[in-house]
Amino acid sequence: MTVTPPMTPLAGTGQTYEDQGLSIHDLFQRLGAQGAVMIEDHTFNRCMIQGPAVLLALGGVVFDNCDMGPSGGDIRNLLFKPVGVSKAIGAISIRRCRFVDCAFYAIGFTGTDEFLDSFQDNVRPKGGAA
C-alpha cells in the first residue's frame, strides 16, 4: 500500500480513516496546523500507518488485529521507555485512538510503564518478523 494524499476522513464519520496509506507524521502536522497538539479520537480501519515515528500512547489507545511491523522477532524492539518524569519530547502523542486491522511500518511505541507492559503482554507480531 502506498501513501495516498490527501488523507481524508470518510464523509460523515468524524475522524475515521479506512483503507488508505498515510504518513502519521503528515497527519500530525496537518492537525497541528489546525491547533491540535496530538492525534485524538481517531479511528483507523485497514490502514497502512507509515513512519518513521514514535507514538506516545496517552490512554484509550486500542490496537485490534494489527501488524505492528518488523520487530526482529521480539516485540520489545518496537518499544521505547521514556527517561524523563513527565514528557517524551519528539514523540507523536495519541489519545483515544483505535487501530483495527492496520499495518505499521517504521513506527515505535512509548507510553507509561502500564502501557509498555500491556503492549508486551497483549500485542503479537502479525506479519513481518524481520
Greater pLDDT, 85 or 77? 77
**Nearby residues of 76 by Cβ (< 8 Å), 6 or more positions away:** 120
Residue range 53-63: mean pLDDT, rounded:
94
The Cα diameter of the chain in Å comes to 41
pLDDT, residue 130, reads 45
What pTM did the predictor assign? 0.85
Residue range 63-88: mean pLDDT, rounded:
88
Greater pLDDT, 86 or 130? 86
Residue range 81-104: mean pLDDT, rounded:
90
Q: For residue 19, which of 27, 10, 28 has the smallest C-alpha distance?
A: 10
Residue range 93-118: mean pLDDT, rounded:
95
Residue range 5-27: mean pLDDT, rounded:
75
